[in-house]
Amino acid sequence: MKKRFGIRKGRSKAETDTYSAAWNAWCAAVLREVRFQPDHRAIRKELLAHLEDGRADLERLGYDTALAEQRALEAMGSAFVVGCAMDQAHHPFWGWLWRLTRWLMLALLAAAVGITVRDSGTVNDALSRTAEQLQWTEPAAGADRVETEYATLWLAPGEVTEEGGVFQADLYIWVEMRDPFGYSPDGLWRYLEVADDQGAVPCYARQPDGTWPETGYWDYWERTGKAWTRYQATIRLTLDRRPAWVEVTYPYGKNDWTLRAEWEGAS
Q: What is the pLDDT of residue 219?
A: 46
User: By the 8 A CB rule, do 128 and 218 touch?
Assistant: no
User: By the 8 A CB rule, do 58 and 64 touch?
Assistant: no
pTM above 0.85, yes or no: no
Residues 6+ apart with CB under 8 A from 75: 54
Angle between the 40-60 and 65-76 helix axes, to the nearest 10 degrees? 130
Q: What is the pLDDT of residue 119?
A: 52
Q: What is the pLDDT of residue 17?
A: 58
Among residues 221, 239, 9, the alpha carbon closest in space to that of 120 is found at 221
Per-residue pLDDT of the chain (267 residues; tens, 9 = 90+): 444 433 334 444 445 557 888 999 999 999 988 888 888 888 899 999 989 999 999 998 889 999 999 998 988 888 888 888 888 777 766 656 767 777 777 777 777 666 555 554 545 555 555 555 556 688 988 999 999 888 889 999 999 999 998 888 899 988 887 766 556 666 666 778 888 888 888 767 665 544 444 334 444 444 444 556 777 788 888 888 889 999 999 887 677 889 999 998 665
Q: What is the pLDDT of residue 261?
A: 94
